[in-house]
């Protein structure tokens, strides 16, 4: 019975992912093991791996129509933020990263706006895809968020929108671009610039000041899948240029089941909270590490 279920599950990915090039349904095969080893090598080297053309052209056209249909559901927010998403610190110099603020304007389509029959929802919830990602990030297993808003998200950047220098809340993130803008919208990052042992503020300040010596820049294209250790790598998306929106799907997973994002973050990113966030506000939350954000 289990074998039949696995076969049916694998079939559901055909046409949605280039399984010939990326045999995520045969991870124990020689080619599957080679693929995982190469992904891990790249992640270990600079905290990021990009699988070019992960989605075949036919499915990509459907994906673009899907995110285009959903993009009007995006909630836009504009804030001035530092890399740590925190208040400034008047006890520190104005040049310190905690006191360096930049415009952050972008839109997010919350997960509860994304239908169960969409391609991106099917991929996100697919156990074979989850096993693949878990293998890449060297985890026994990973779990979809229990957060109804933040687990599966579409990021929508229109002209002038950007993500300034920042870190991610979770240790790793999985994204897939479905639509590129006419210009700008370039992903840049400083791999492993901080660690759980320290913030490395001096190096962060140099990056913000314009030092590009340790930066990497990615030419992401629609259909590319990216796995990124954004908790420790300072990164940004440069301002979008032109009247064509940039769409990126964010697949968020956690190491443990039942993960819920912070209520204040849900309010800021999506303009609202779900009932589970309101309960968490009453109960309180604890951080999983001591990093500044």
Tens of pLDDT, residue by residue over 175-195, are: 999 999 999 999 999 999 999
Report if residue 10 sits inside a domain: no
Report the pLDDT value the prediction gives residue 282, as an integer from 0 to 100: 82
The pLDDT value recorded for residue 292 is 64
Helix ranges restricted to H, 71-214: 119-125, 127-136, 201-208
Q: Is the model's pLDDT at 99 over the cut of 90?
A: yes
**Residue 192, domain extent:** 19-282
pLDDT at 262: 87
CB–CB of 242/170 below 8 Å?
Answer: no
Q: Does residue 292 sit within a domain?
A: no
Please provide the average confidence, as pLDDT, over all residues in the chain. Answer: 92
CA trace torsion 114, 119, 120, 125 (10° rounding): 100
Yes or no: say if 81 and 102 are a contact pair by the CB < 8 Å rule.
Answer: yes
**Element of type H or E holding 77:** strand 75-81
- pLDDT confidence band for 6 (50 / 70 / 90): very low
pLDDT grade, residue 137 (50/70/90)? Answer: very high
The pLDDT score that the predictor gives to residue 288 is 53
Contact 34, 22 (CB under 8 A): no
CATH code for position 108: 2.60.120.620
293, part of any domain: no
Q: Distance of CA 196 to CAs 10, 87, 93, 254, Å?
A: 37, 21, 24, 18
Count the helices and strands in the chain (H runs, E runs). Answer: 8, 15
Of 264, 207, 265, the closest CA to residue 83 belongs to 207
| pLDDT surpasses 80 at 4 | no
Domain count, the chain: 1
Give yes or no for residue 48 having a pLDDT over 70: yes
DSSP string, 99-125: G--EEEEEEEE-GGGS-TTSHHHHHHH
The pTM for the full model equals 0.90
Which residues neighbour 290 within 8 Å (Cβ) at sequence distance 6 or greater? 196
């Amino acid at each position: 019975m289990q074998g039949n279920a696995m076969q049916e599950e694998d079939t559901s990915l055909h046409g949605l992912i280039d399984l010939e090039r990326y045999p995520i349904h045969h991870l124990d095969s020689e080619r599957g093991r080679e693929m995982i080893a190469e992904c891990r090598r790249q992640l270990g080297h600079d905290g990021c791996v990009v699988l070019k053309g992960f989605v075949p052209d036919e499915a990509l056209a459907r994906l673009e129509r899907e995110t285009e249909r959903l993009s009007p559901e995006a909630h836009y927010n504009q804030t001035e933020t530092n890399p740590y998403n925190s208040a400034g610190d008047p006890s520190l110099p104005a040049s310190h990263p905690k006191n360096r603020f930049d415009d952050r304007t972008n839109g997010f389509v919350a997960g509860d706006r994304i239908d169960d029959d969409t391609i991106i929802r099917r991929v996100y919830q697919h156990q074979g895809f989850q096993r693949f990602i878990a293998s890449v990030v060297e985890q026994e297993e990973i779990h979809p968020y229990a957060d109804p808003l933040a687990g599966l998200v579409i990021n929508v950047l229109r002209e002038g929108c950007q993500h300034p220098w920042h870190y991610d809340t979770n240790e790793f993130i999985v994204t897939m671009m479905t639509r590129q803008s006419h210009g700008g919208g370039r992903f840049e990052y400083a791999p492993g610039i901080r660690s759980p042992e320290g913030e490395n503020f001096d190096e962060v300040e140099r990056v913000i000041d314009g030092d590009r010596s340790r930066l990497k820049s990615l030419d992401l294209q629609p259909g590319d899948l990216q796995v990124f250790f954004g908790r420790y790598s300072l990164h940004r998306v440069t301002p979008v240029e032109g009247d064509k929106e940039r769409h990126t799907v964010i697949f968020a997973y956690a190491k443990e089941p039942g993960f819920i994002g912070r209520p204040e973050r849900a309010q800021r990113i999506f303009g609202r909270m779900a009932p589970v966030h309101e309960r968490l506000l009453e109960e309180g939350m604890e951080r999983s590490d001591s990093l500044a954000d």
